[in-house]
Amino acid sequence: MPTQILLVECDDRPGLVHRITGVLFERGCNVLVNSEFVDREAARFFMRTEYAGEASPRAVEASLRAVLPPEALLRFSEPRPRRIAVLCTREWHCLGDLLLRHAFGDLGAEIAVVLGNHPDLASLVERFEVPFLHVPDGGLSREAHEEAVGKALEPHRPEFLVLAKYMRVLTPGFLRIYPDRIVNIHHSFLPAFTGAHPYRQAFSRGVKIIGATAHLVTEILDEGPILAQDTIPVDHTWDAAAMARAGRDVERTVLARGLRLVFEDRVFLCGRRTVLFD
């Protein structure tokens, strides 16, 4: 029997779990994994269910609509590899990690294309038989470059964009093409050290721990909802370069963890916060 993922989000009220599981039961769907959460502050209900069943999502949706409030958000998806594009500049470690996982079926996604504003990583990408697009930004306005990027990506129809150390800020206009579907890795433990050169900032501040953050990209830089974070200890013998080197291992692991949550439809947004059914 095929497996479906069902996501439900609505204002909280009594009996929601009972009603939703009731519909699944009546439709002959067997719940495999079920998670729910009520955000008390927002009085908002979130539920993610994996179920096996022959009933079509359309039929299940119709039954759910009949028992849920009209404002309820419903989303159905199948557990299948997502189709993604990866954007990069010059740093190899996150991109390399994604290509490796992709090559061995461990990414939960198919990399349709890699796009760089610099050509440096073309040969790495080509080793893995993935197309590489070089869209240079030299002499272009931000908008003009983004338009070129958008056009280059379009024929590859990516569901998600992954910014794997893509060192360019995206405009709101571009973000609107992929709403809540762009994931970035920031090389600090946000909200510490937003902006450029976080390792340099961390060194200057003399912190004893550094980290990395995977987040969804929104209009305000480094302010997007957080998907995953991790930290490692450092000490006074580490200069900014040593921090950057060790940080690379944290970045790629955190990015992969954040992406898995997104690709497996485990993420809800609740204001600036994420509800992650991990």
List interacting residues with its own copies (CB under 8 A). Answer: 14-15, 17-18, 21-22, 24-25, 30-34, 36-41, 92-93, 96-97, 100, 103-104, 106, 124, 127-128, 189-193, 203-209, 211, 225-231, 233, 235-237, 239, 245, 248-249, 253, 256, 270-276, 278
First-residue to last-residue Cα distance in the chain: 23
| Nearest CB to its own copies, comparing residues 14 and 70 | 14
| Nearest CB to its own copies, comparing residues 40 and 138 | 40
| Nearest CB to its own copies, comparing residues 1 and 144 | 1
Q: Please confirm, yes or no, whether 222 is among the known catalytic residues.
A: yes
CB of 22 to its own copies, least distance (A): 5
Structure tokens at 84: 């993604």
CB of 62 to its own copies, least distance (A): 18
CB of 30 to its own copies, least distance (A): 5
CB of 73 to its own copies, least distance (A): 17
Q: Given 222, 230, 249, 265, which residue is catalytic?
A: 222
| Nearest CB to its own copies, comparing residues 152 and 270 | 270
| Nearest CB to its own copies, comparing residues 40 and 141 | 40
| Percentages (nearest 5) of helix, strand, coil residues in the chain | 30, 30, 35
Asked whether the CA dihedral 84, 33, 10, 275 is positive or negative, the reply is negative
Beta bridge partners of 7: 48, 75
Q: Which H or E run contains 130?
A: none
CB of 34 to its own copies, least distance (A): 6
Angstrom CA distances, 12 to 6, 67, 268, stand at 17, 14, 15
Q: Which of 204, 225, 90, 109 has the alpha carbon at shortest distance from 159?
A: 109
Q: Which of 198, 167, 170 has the alpha carbon at shortest distance from 182?
A: 170
In the chain, which ranges are continuous DSSP H helix? 16-26, 57-67, 93-103, 122-127, 142-153, 172-175, 198-205, 240-263
Residues 87 and 114: their CA atoms lie apart, in Å, by 6
- Report, as residue numbers or ranges, the catalytic residues: 222
